[in-house]
Chain A
């Protein structure tokens, strides 16, 4: 596709449920990032993939959060036993290797609401 896509665009779930958020990066981009953005705040880093491996997962808030990228393209962010505090916009970004800037291209985000 032309850009990064994320599905679903909106997800409403109940406290304690399990959710999966999907990210389709720009074709050929090897780097993939997940961010979480609360209302009125800038995005906060969650996890970074270089290819299939999670090169840096230091931003994941706790062990309820997990992300995979099994074939080095599509990534899934998984949240177990959701809590109301998990409600936020979840953004995915991808970046090509090389270049001066390593510019990150963001998807439209998934708005997660935990009731």
Chain B
């Protein structure tokens, strides 16, 4: 069964500090990996998307890395802000076709809390 596992399950850090969230996956064949930010009671919002050939992608203070050989990804957040408090979900897409159901596999997320 295709799985996406994330760690830690929850994390609390001080405002201004950096942090790194981890994602391991077993989805195969693999098309692309995404990181989503989900505020409480809201839908997920895409942060980064990487294909299997990309090693890193940045979006402002968010930087995602991907190692397709070890099937690991990380999301690094620099200079954290209170508004970064949210769940961060790693999502893997196994389908390359533009016309089929992507059948995304979602991780359970890391709950990040930034404290002042």
Contact = CB atoms under 8 A, between A and B. Distances in A.
B43 A107 contact: yes
A99 interface: yes
B106 A103 contact: no
Contact of B49 (A45, A56, A101): A101
Contact of A102 (B4, B36, B102, B106): B102
A97 B108 CA distance: 27
A47 to B, nearest CB: 9
A42 interface: yes
A4 B42 CA distance: 12
Contacts of A55: 100-101
Interface residues of A, number: 31
A60 to B, nearest CB: 13
Interface residues of B, number: 26
Given A41-B108, A42-B106, A106-B44, A50 B99 contact: yes
B98 A102 contact: yes
A99 B98 CA distance: 7
Nearest to A47: B101
Nearest to A105: B46
Contacts of B49: 101, 103
A40 B108 contact: yes
A42 B41 contact: no
B22 to A, nearest CB: 15
A43 interface: yes
Nearest to B91: A42
A108 B42 contact: yes
Given A42-B107, A103-B46, A109-B42, 14 more contacts: A41-B108, A42-B4, A42-B109, A43-B44, A44-B106, A55-B100, A89-B41, A99-B98, A101-B32, A101-B34, A105-B46, A108-B41, A108-B42, A109-B41
21 contacts: A4-B43, A40-B108, A40-B109, A41-B108, A42-B91, A42-B106, A45-B104, A91-B43, A91-B44, A93-B43, A97-B98, A97-B99, A101-B32, A101-B34, A101-B51, A102-B98, A104-B46, A106-B44, A107-B43, A109-B42, A109-B43
